[in-house]
Structure formats: structure tokens, C-alpha cells
Amino acid sequence: MSSPSTGPGTTARRRFRRRADQAVAAVRIDLDTDGLRYRKWGHEQFAKRGDWLVDNAGEVYTVDAESFARTYRSVGRGAYLKTTPVWAQRAAQAGSIATKEGRSAYEAGDWLVSNAEDGSDAYAVSAARFDQMYEADD
């Protein structure tokens, strides 16, 4: 297991922004439910009432309600763009990272991304997807 901190097996964390043409489709899970359990990224994930179901160019997953509210803005009916910066670093070796929804496995060369400068509210993104979605914001 790895954490989203700078240390052995990672590069230094840098600031990035979501590209303006990378909006997602999202729907809030506003149902009377005990939650939604599903498998993704090599581990079980869990969404609770109020979280968001996101379609990111065909990749579907959930995002914690507080995290979504803090980082995404509506750009049209059902379309949202992440408008806050993220901090990311490349993983030198495979591992997994704790997220608000569960754990996510990653490979060497993938990106460990955080919605907070201190490395919290983290997730993993494949190298190819990261290059499509984000640009440096130094």
C-alpha cells in the first residue's frame, strides 16, 4: 500500500488543473438507500446517499458528496467540470491508495491525485487518462 505523500516510489507532488474541455456527466444519488456497493479499480467501492454517480468519458464511478460539491461546478444540465486544482505525483511502483469510496489499485507510472494540497481526498488515475484530463498549473 502507498499513500499520496512524497517519498520512496513517487515523484514530487505538483499542481494541475482539469482541462476545460473535460466535463463529466453526473447525477446525485438522492435516493432513500443504505448505499451502493460495487467493484472497481481492483477493490470494493461504496457510495452513500447524496454522493454523485459520474460518467467520465465512459468510465463510470461515484464521488463523495462533499468532495464533489467542493471541486465541481455545473456547466450545463447534468454536465460538471472540476474547477479546483489538484495535486498529483507519478507512482514509481504499483500499489493501492485509500479513497473516500474504498481503495484503488494503480500501476507504476500512474498518477496519485489529491483534491487537497496536503495529499488528502486522494485517488489514482492511469497515465493515459491523466494526460487527457489534466494540465500543469504551476
pLDDT of residue 138: 79
Backbone angles phi, psi at 132, to 5 degrees: -75, -40
- Separation CA 26–CA 51 (nearest Å): 10
Tell me whether residue 124 is exposed, middle or buried, using C-beta atoms within 10 angstroms of its C-beta: 0 to 12, 13 to 18, 19 or more.
buried
Share of the chain above pLDDT 70, in %: 92
pLDDT of residue 17: 97
Question: pTM of the prediction?
Answer: 0.87
Using alpha carbons, select from 122, 124, 131, 20 the residue that is nearest to residue 73: 20
Which residue ranges of the chain lie beneath pLDDT 70? 1-11
Share of the chain above pLDDT 90, in %: 91
pLDDT of residue 52: 98
